[in-house]
Chains A and B, each alone.
Chain A
Amino acid sequence: MAIRPAIVGVGQTYHRSKRPDVNIGELCTEAVRAALEDAKLPPEKIGAFVVGNMELFEGRYMQDMWQADFVGAVGKPLIRVTTGGTTGGTLASVAFEHVASGMFDLVMAVGFEKQSEGDTRAGLKTVADPLWNRWQTTGAIGYFARVATFYIKETGAPEDAGSRVRLRLARHAARNPHAHLRMDLESVDQVMKFPYLIPPLRQSDMCPASEGACAIIVASEETARKLPRKPVWVDDWTSVHKEMVYVRGGRHSTADLEMAADRLFRRNGIREPMKDISVAEIYAPATWAELEWLEAYGFCEKGDAWKLEEKGQFHFDGPFPVNPSGGVVCTNPIGATGLIRVAECALQLRGDAGEHQITRKPTRGFSTAWGGSGWTVAHLLSADGL
């Protein structure tokens, strides 16, 4: 890597299922302003922008043209990234690449979603080939019901394993002022009362449809050292695509998650991920996926995640905090979701996460984005002075 990038500012909006008080541009300004304030930078210092959201959701062609006016990019380089569920993760990766290339010193990435303006379910269903298998798509719920079914079958996890994940994440979200679903849940039994969508998947196992935006500011090492915030170093990032177009509904596989984590860990000398990494903000849109994917990333053995969950291993004040923000099952403004994972990791590594700050010493962070049932983007960050 030519130039080492650092995250020098993050900002996000609060999240709700509807934000009728603002339009898309106004929503983005909230995150942009928060990131600039966090970095203590005036808008004119930003040299380039990367913006993104989901295709089709809000029904606007050239969303990037619309957004330029509202993120402060008029007259400057700006590109739109729209890679489905991974959009937010790719936004971060592309901003890192802008800086790593040496062409830009300060780059801002902005992701948003305003799901109530369009039809998320209709948008997601267009993922499948219209002449092959679009007719049979059951959206995210159908996919994650399969994840739950396979996880139970392959690991012997009890049917309440997903509900335990929800309970942990609800507790985390309750401490995070930016989280969307801040459910007052006290017991697994209480979570188990939520109705089934597709058994064994319950309503409480799935993410909400959220509206909100997130922005991060990335700087070159030289610039980052001159700025007031403690920089969060970006050590590495990658993305993996699995064969998907004609195999949807076929053999269940987590190959993309495994390859992405394995590549990053190998390249960075991480041999014991749960020891070497102090916090994970992973993009898991369902509780069961969080369990299955912690195993796929190699944090624990296959079939162990639900047992570690029962022991409280993944709590924000536990030995290996996972999604201390409350994660995707509490907040999912899709085009921003992957970027929120990066931003939340950065806050943890800076020690600035407030009420949901992990108690373990923050050293390295792992953030991911996932989408399309077979794409993974992953980032490895580290705290300053490590």
Chain B
Amino acid sequence: MNKELEHSFVELLEKHQNIVHKVCRLYTNNQDAHNDLFQEITIQLWKAYPKFRGDAKFSTWMYRVGLNTAITLYRKSKRTIKTQEFETVSFKIKSVEYDDTEEQQLKLLYKAVHQLNDIEKALVLLYLEDKNYREISETLGISEVNARVKMNRVKKKLKTILNP
């Protein structure tokens, strides 16, 4: 890989790194795992970069590589604490009285999203990023109709988690 390519890649990644951070934020539970996943996504992006044609937007391309790494390629090194953390989270959601303040609601929402499975998280991420169903279907490899149906189910699931 030549220096020029490396330089342009690092420049682009530095500028758009928040996309990678967002993926990490959704798929990891602690800072160490976050950094670990960030590192792996960076490697995957760099490996795929020479084939990046520029016909797709760099950010769209990053979402795809980032999600693929998080869902499929990444091997979690600290799996053991995961279940326990989830149990604590769901306990808290049930025990904390439903506060109407936005901040409290958001806190619960983020916790609820963390309880979703990998595919559901991907749907939520793309939805939060205002991607349309065509983009969602192209990223995940499912039909637009199925993406829409699944998204509605995820919304319902989130509601159930928040209001058991």
A and B from one complex: no
Give B contacts to A, CB under 8 Å: none
